[in-house]
């Protein structure tokens, strides 16, 4: 901005008593001042925009906050070192990224599913709209996270630690870290990708325990009957061999539940929460509503929504369907002669437990039918208590 047109470039007051004229402020100078102020405003808006901020006249420290967001904590030497080590340029997040939270598509453990922070969605294996989360979809499409085909994800539970392209057109699918989708292996722990891991990003590794071996001898049997550990007191029986010879045989049982708690899985001490994934950091075209929270609520609704095909199962005479919450209902019928029982095999095996089996008949006279052993997660036996052949209808509930 040029100085005022005076001999020393400064403004001077006039003196009416001596006739000295004051500095004349010309239109050219005022136009230069106005132009300079406009340039300064443009520079300020550009600086705020680079830091992801909007001008707020009531705030007097926005430049300082913008500079902090852009440069505070930025370490160019660390970035150069990362590049030399073969890491991508974005290996170190900018200060503005750090201020906004985790990078897009990174997981976070949330202690309360009912209070998921804005910008995150539960990792429940649900599909979401690409148009609602364009930046998240761009990261998935770019291969920034492990991706499987949607068909492989649905058919193979060990693939469910990965993202998918959803329907291939307008959606994408999140991984199921929380074990919420039908058929998923269960809530997951997270570990590194080195020794003893599954060895591939997003691949779920099944549970396992170290081998337990033992040896039985008569002395162990006698001592175990007095022990308080996992050995259970056995039994002794007299057997008759070939030629009439007799001898003693011993049995010894092992029951770990006498020593430690048991469950359908092997697990460490843990606390329940909800894995969530960051899907956005800024909101486009916000209105009067809290758009960030609105998008988060939409994603939560998507997580709770289960497609009809997940429940449909096989709706035939001997069929099954999946119920909300993971329960499975199965049904069928069999022609059973009077006074006999038949073993029926369920259309699919219950993954973990059989809760209840009921059997009815077609209304003919006679004793009521019953459910008899064997019954487990794959089968049950139904008995016809009448004297004539009847059609028996069975129904089983499990998980």
Write the pLDDT tens digit of every residue in 195-225.
Answer: 988 889 999 998 888 877 766 655 544 554 4
Comparing 65-74, 119-128, 325-334, which segment has the lowest mean pLDDT? 65-74
At 83 the pLDDT is 45
The answer on pLDDT for 24 being more than 60 is yes
Q: Same domain, yes or no, for 276 and 300?
A: yes
Shared domain for 150 and 281, answered yes or no, is yes
Task: Give the CATH number for residue 317.
Answer: 2.60.40.3940
In a shared domain, residues 126 and 230: no
Residues 223 and 128 in one domain: no
Amino acid 349: pLDDT: 92
Q: Is residue 262 part of a domain?
A: yes
pLDDT bucket at 148, cuts 50 / 70 / 90: very high
**Cα-based distances in Å from 375 to 33, 344, 357, 381:** 92, 9, 9, 6
- DSSP E strands in 111-216: the ranges are 120-122, 127-129, 171-173
Confidence check: pLDDT of 71 > 70: no
Residues 172, 114 within the same domain: yes
Residues of the domain holding 341? 312-398
Q: Which helix (H) or strand (E) holds 61?
A: none
DSSP state of 185: -
Are the C-beta atoms of residues 369 and 382 closer than 8 Å to each other? yes
- Which residues make beta-bridge pairs with 371? 382
Tokens of 190: 């997270």
Contact present, 367 and 392 (Cβ < 8 Å)? no
Q: Quick: pLDDT tens for 286-308.
A: 566 667 777 877 777 777 666 66
pTM listed for this prediction: 0.47
* One domain, residues 165 and 179: yes
The answer to whether residue 33 is domain-embedded is: no
Domain count, the chain: 3
Q: Rounded mean pLDDT of the chain?
A: 79
Does 98 map to a domain?
no
Each residue's pLDDT tens digit, 343-398: 999 999 998 899 999 999 876 666 789 998 888 999 999 999 888 888 999 999 99
Q: How is residue 339 written in tokens?
A: 């006074």
């Amino acid at each position: 901005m040029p100085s005022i047109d005076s001999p020393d470039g400064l403004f001077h007051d006039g003196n009416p008593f001596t006739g000295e004229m004051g500095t004349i402020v010309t239109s050219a100078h005022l136009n230069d001042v106005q132009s300079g102020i406009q340039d300064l405003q443009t520079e300020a808006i550009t600086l705020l925009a680079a830091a992801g901020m909007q001008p707020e006249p009531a705030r007097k420290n926005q430049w300082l906050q913008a500079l902090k967001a852009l440069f505070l904590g930025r370490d160019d030497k660390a970035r150069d070192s990362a590049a030399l080590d073969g890491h991508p340029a974005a290996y170190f997040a900018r200060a503005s990224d750090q201020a906004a939270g985790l990078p897009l598509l990174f997981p976070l453990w949330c202690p309360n599913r009912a209070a998921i922070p804005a910008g995150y969605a539960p990792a429940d294996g649900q599909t979401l709209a690409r148009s609602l989360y364009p930046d998240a979809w761009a990261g998935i499409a770019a291969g920034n996270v492990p991706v499987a085909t949607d068909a492989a994800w649905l058919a193979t539970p060990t693939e469910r630690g990965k993202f998918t392209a959803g329907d291939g057109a307008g959606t994408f699918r999140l991984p199921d870290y929380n074990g919420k989708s039908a058929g998923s292996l269960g809530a997951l722990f997270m570990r590194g990708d080195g020794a003893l891991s599954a060895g591939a990003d997003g691949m779920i590794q099944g549970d396992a325990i170290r081998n337990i071996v033992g040896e039985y001898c008569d002395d162990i049997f006698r001592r175990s009957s007095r022990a308080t550990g996992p050995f259970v007191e056995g039994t002794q029986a007299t057997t008759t061999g070939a030629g009439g010879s007799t001898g003693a045989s011993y049995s010894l049982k092992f029951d770990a539940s006498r020593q430690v708690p048991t469950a359908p899985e092997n697990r460490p001490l843990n606390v329940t929460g909800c894995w969530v994934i960051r899907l956005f950091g800024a909101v486009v075209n916000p209105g009067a509503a809290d758009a960030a929270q609105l998008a988060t609520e939409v994603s939560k609704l998507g997580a709770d929504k289960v497609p009809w095909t997940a429940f449909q199962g096989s709706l035939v005479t001997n069929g099954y369907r999946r119920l909300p919450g993971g329960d499975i209902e199965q049904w069928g019928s069999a022609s059973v002669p009077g006074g006999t029982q038949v073993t029926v095999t369920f259309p699919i095996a219950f993954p973990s437990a059989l809760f209840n089996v009921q059997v009815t008949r077609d209304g003919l006279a006679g004793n009521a039918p019953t459910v008899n052993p064997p019954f487990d997660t794959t089968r049950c036996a139904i008995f016809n208590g009448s004297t004539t052949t009847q059609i028996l209808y069975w129904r089983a509930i499990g998980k």
